[in-house]
Each structure stands twice: as structure tokens, then as C-alpha cells.
A = this chain, B = another copy of it.
């Protein structure tokens, strides 16, 4: 089976939606970084040092439960940013931000971002829109966790990931997936087998491919429709 292949370069849409002038000014304050699989950008309770704008990388937001479990509540890719709390005037992050797909991003110091956010109405607008989208995503996740079975949730998760990294092939183990979905690894095994049997996906030892996107969509719950990142024309 195929290993990971790099997609075409993807630029962060939140930044891309800004008018030229803002973008140019901010360019000097943005530091390009490479995010590696497994990196933890922040832990709950940490002061926010940087905000991150993923390009082709993918970051999971995990909320702690019972000082023991963690559960993914949001997935951030090129359509958003990590560190939205800062825009809301909160200096401390409530979530763990875990790099789930390696790739590039740009980042900005917290103080710089706050200043920019106050000054640029367009940045405010874009960040506000993204916060709303993220909120919807989290709400949908809450409902999905309540009503849908592992198989549907797995399908949804794979599609969301696909949309954000722009590739049908990515690296992840069942252990990791179980962690994200809040189920046992064995639960993932069963769900994944079912999808594999139907030739919707294939996987082996830490690599996974989506074979039939349409089929996977119909296997996933309707929650996927809600959290799909919309296409937006660049200005």
C-alpha cells in the first residue's frame, strides 16, 4: 500500500482571507515552523506563547476529563488557527494542542498577535468567523459522541482529517485513533475492519489510505456535513 505522499502546498486560509496590506504587514511577524507528528504545542493551563496558523499540518485540540482521560474536541487545519483563546482575552489555553499531521505552519508571538488583533478589523473578522466555526465543530462533536457509533465517528474523523491535510494517505495507528475518539483500541480495530471489508479504506501498521471517499461519506454520520470546511475564494 502507498505511504504518505505530499500534497500540493496549502496556505493557511485564515491568513489568506486578509487584505493584501494586512497580510504583508503581518508577514514580517510570522515565523515559519515545521510541526512534527506528536509535537505538543500547549498543555491545558499553559500560558499561550504563540498562535499557530497551519498550512498543510493538522492539529488536534484535546480537552482533559477526570485528570485521566483526554478527548479530541476539535481539529484545526489550514482553515483555522491554534490559540483562539488569546483573541478572546484569555491568556491560558484550556486544551492540549497535539500535532496529528506533520507539516508546515506559521506562528506569531502572543503579544504581537494581541496587538494585531486589536488593530486589524479584518483580522478580527476572520478570527471571529473561525471561532464560530470551531464552536460549531465542538458542539457537533458533543452531539456526535452521544448518538453515533464508533464506525460512523471513525469515518467522520478520517474525512475531516483528509479535508485538512489534502491527502488521502496519512500516518496513524489504531492506538492513536482510539485516543482521539475516546474508545479502546480494539473498538477502533472492529470499526476499521468493517470499513476495510467494504473497501472504503485500507491500512497497515500505522499507515492508512482512504480508497473511496464517497462511500466513506455515506458510512460517516451526518455530522460530517456540518463540520466540513467550506471552500472560500481567496480575495
Asked if A66 and B138 sit within 8 Å, CB to CB, the answer is no
For residue A215, CB closer than 8 A to chain B, the reply is: no
Q: Which of B69, B87, B139 contacts A63 (CB 8 A)?
A: B139
Which among A71, A74, A95, A222 has the greatest number of chain B C-beta atoms within 10 A? A71
Q: How far is the CA of A125 from the CA of B73 in the complex (A)?
A: 25
Query: Given contacts A88-B131, A139-B142, A145-B146, could you give 16 more A-B pairs where the C-beta distance is less than 8 Å?
Result: A63-B140, A65-B147, A66-B147, A66-B222, A71-B143, A73-B143, A85-B132, A87-B128, A89-B125, A90-B129, A90-B132, A95-B139, A135-B135, A135-B138, A142-B142, A142-B145
Q: Is the interface of A mostly helix, strand, loop or mixed?
A: helix
User: How far is it, in angstroms, between the C-alpha of A134 and the C-alpha of B138 when the chains are bound?
Assistant: 11
Q: How far is the CB of A176 from chain B (nearest CB, A)?
A: 17
CB distance from A77 to the nearest CB of B (A): 18
- A94 to B85: give the CA distance in the assembly, Å: 21
Q: Provide the bound-state CA to CA distance between A87 and B131, in Å.
A: 11
A140-180 at interface with B (beta carbon < 8 Å): 140-147
Most buried by B among A69, A87, A134, A143: A143
CA distance A66 to B144 in the complex (A): 10
Residues from chain B with a CB closer than 8 A to the CB of A221 are 66
What are 20 of the A-B contact pairs (CB < 8 Å)?
A65-B144, A65-B146, A65-B222, A66-B221, A67-B222, A69-B147, A71-B142, A88-B128, A89-B128, A90-B129, A90-B132, A95-B139, A134-B135, A135-B135, A138-B138, A143-B145, A143-B182, A145-B146, A146-B182, A147-B182
State A224–B234 Cα separation when bound (angstroms).
42
A-B complex: 6 closest residue pairs judged by Cβ atoms: A142-B142, A88-B128, A88-B132, A65-B143, A145-B146, A71-B143
Cα–Cα, bound, A74→B136 (Å): 12
How many angstroms from the CA of A66 to the CA of B156 in the assembled complex? Answer: 14
Is the beta-carbon distance between B89 and A132 smaller than 8 angstroms?
Answer: yes
